[in-house]
Structure 1
């Protein structure tokens, strides 16, 4: 089966769990930078701050514009930066990307910020922070667009429900996971992410 052929209506709960969560677990490795995908959610900010304070990476890159929220709204990256500072992260260790309005743009625009800050060739590993249901799409998008020498450690936020072992117990989180499977299939079909084989399904 290929990504473009995914249909959550034909998959069991265990198959969806395996596909969405098996390869996005925290492997414990440290990285060169923490990349936080754009959203105005405190869960992601708290996770990034904890990783920073645990010395898992020396800096945090927050990404996201105000496009989804309206012209007079605060950009996602600025919102996250302000909350990171409140959580004790020094401003000089926070990088900001203000143009991206979706997952693909988060990845592409972040490459320029990393290039300007460090030189993309020096980046070996990124710690990836997003919501649990979003991590698989992050992985697939990173693999499609980022240089192949960069590796990733996936650090989903620590919300109580919506994790690998309980996503189906909450109606909102279940809906998010099912929607993501549909989105991944759609984007693979459109060529936005690489349409690869899924041998385990």
Structure 2
């Protein structure tokens, strides 16, 4: 069934799991750059995954994307992620930042300029994409909708505490996040803001 045919008000837990988590797995390919989108807890969950990929040698650069300043911080998401990555041993020369974006679509659009200035977009073959697993479907669809079609994406989900495929339905935080994320994906596809895609429901 295509995402555009789904009714976000009448999805079962199994359908939401299939929508957000199915086919979200690392294919173990190497890439040109590790692309990490920010969030309020990106340092806790997404940063360790990005640093792990970098230290494994799967890409030589990390791009941190995010311009939000969360309460209590004077730094943008990207600046905070960069600072912590350096403290974990990633050389500053291998870190790129994008600090204009305020949400997922802007993460992608704003990062294209940074990527073009660093690599030239026409030379990029593959990005390693890091976000939490429940957010990966929307980010992947956004990348496939707006980035050039010659760029491939290896999905490297970071697992948070409450919203994994195997436990989101066991706690209120996970249920709330997955319901909200499912509704967003369906809404944006129906609006035409994201490419439609057939999924097994």
TM-score by length of 1: 0.91
State how far apart, in whole Å, the 1-side matches of 2:101 and 2:199 are.
32
- Pair 90,136 (structure 1): closer, same or farther in 2 beyond 3 Å: same
Q: Which runs of 5+ in 2 are unaligned?
A: none
Offset of residue 31 of structure 1: 1.1
Q: Which residue of 2 aligns with 1:153?
A: 154
Residue 132 (structure 1) aligned with residue 104 (structure 2): no
Structure 1 outlier segments of 4+, above 3 Å: none
Map residues 160-179 of structure 1 onto 2, 5 A cutoff.
160-179=161-180
Name which of structure 1's ranges 29-38 and 181-190 shifts more when overlaid on structure 2: 181-190
State how far apart, in whole Å, the 2-side matches of 1:131 and 1:197 are.
20
- Pair 6,35 (structure 1): closer, same or farther in 2 beyond 3 Å: same
| CA offset digits 1:2-46 (Å, max 9, x no partner) | 434433442222222122111221111111100001223221111
| CA offset digits 1:46-90 (Å, max 9, x no partner) | 111111111111110001113x637x7311100111111111111
Are the equivalent residues in 1 in contact too, given 2:66–2:100 (CA < 8 A)?
A: yes
Residue 52 (structure 1) aligned with residue 54 (structure 2): yes
State how far apart, in whole Å, the 2-side matches of 1:87 and 1:133 are.
26
Are the equivalent residues in 2 in contact too, given 1:34–1:59 (CA < 8 A)?
A: yes
State how far apart, in whole Å, the 1-side matches of 2:120 and 2:151 are.
12
Count residues in correspondence: 199
Map residues 18-33 of structure 1 onto 2, 5 A cutoff.
18-33=18-33
Are the equivalent residues in 1 in contact too, given 2:35–2:129 (CA < 8 A)?
A: yes
Q: Which residue of 2 aligns with 1:34?
A: 34
Q: Which runs of 5+ in 1 are unaligned?
A: none
SS at match of 2:46: helix
State how far apart, in whole Å, the 2-side matches of 1:14 and 1:3 are.
15
Residue 15 (structure 1) aligned with residue 15 (structure 2): yes
Tell me the C-alpha RMSD between the 2 structures. Answer: 1.9
TM-score by length of 2: 0.91
